[in-house]
Amino acid sequence: MSVPSISRSVIITAGGIGKRMGAEIPKQFLELSGEPILMHTIRKFSNLRDAAEIIVVLPQSQIQTWSDLCLKHNFKIIHTVIEGGKERFHSVKNGLEKATGQLIAVHDAVRPFVAENVIETCFEVAEKKGAAVPVLDLKESLRNIGQNPSIAVPRSDYALVQTPQCFRANLLREAYHNDYQTIFTDDASVVEHAGKSVSLVSGNEENIKITTPMDLKWARFFLANE
């Protein structure tokens, strides 16, 4: 494996129980083709042409379960596991304490189908411009239901946001020095709140966030056709 000109880290963040799945286990531990979803996600980053340090952030209550799953599935891809925080913001902040890369990507644990070219493009644009986020154009019509009555809004003014969201490490660390706010829905919003701009790149449609039973059906289809 070639050594990249600039070091890279990826922080993979995981959440709690998959309630929308009707499951009693965390979404990232649900099996997809015989393995937990999280293993598929980690493998996606371990297969990059240039090495990336992998840091997995889990709730404290899930760390032993993950260790047991790695033994059960003989999962040996090198990664660091650390304890998460109350909100996603705090989990990423914990991950930043361990990340050593000059570029840092933050990715959802339940997005195992991000394309390699999307990851590489995000890293490349982040290196040049500071921050990069993959997005998709909207296909459906969009309405603002916060109005009464609801009103149609132009879908060309909006985009669907995905991960990995990639940043120069110094820029992301500086942004995370700020205190948590409820408006922080992702890393891009944290960085923008700190006064930095974010570049958008094209994502891939398969890069779904597996949160519902229908998502899991799509995931099985994507895996069967990879």
Q: Could you list the pLDDT tens digit for every one of the 226 residues in the chain?
A: 444 579 999 999 997 665 666 667 899 999 999 999 999 999 999 999 888 999 999 999 999 999 999 999 999 999 999 999 999 999 999 999 999 999 999 999 999 999 999 999 999 999 999 999 999 999 999 999 988 899 999 999 999 999 999 999 999 999 999 999 999 999 999 999 999 999 999 999 999 999 999 999 999 999 988 7
Predicted local confidence at residue 24, as pLDDT: 77
- pLDDT of amino acid 18: 58
Domain ranges of the chain: 8-224
CATH fourth-level superfamily of 8-224: Spore Coat Polysaccharide Biosynthesis Protein SpsA; Chain A (3.90.550.10)
Q: What is the pLDDT of residue 49?
A: 87
**pLDDT value of residue 23:** 65
- Residue pair 180/89 in contact (Cβ under 8 Å)? The answer is yes
How far is it, in rounded angstroms, from Cα 206 to Cα 225? Answer: 11
Closest CA to 54 of 64, 68, 44, 62: 44
Cis status of the peptide bond prior to 164, with omega within 30 of 0 = yes
Q: Which pLDDT score, from 0 to 100, does residue 1 have? A: 41
The pLDDT score that the predictor gives to residue 77 is 97
Backbone phi and psi for residue 152, each to the nearest 5 degrees, phi listed first: -75, 140
Tokens, residue 200: 């958008």
Q: Which residues contact 14 (CB under 8 A, 6 or more apart)?
A: 26, 27, 28, 38, 56, 57, 58, 59, 62, 84, 109, 110
What is the DSSP pairing of strand 80-83 with strand 159-161?
A: unpaired
pTM of the model: 0.94
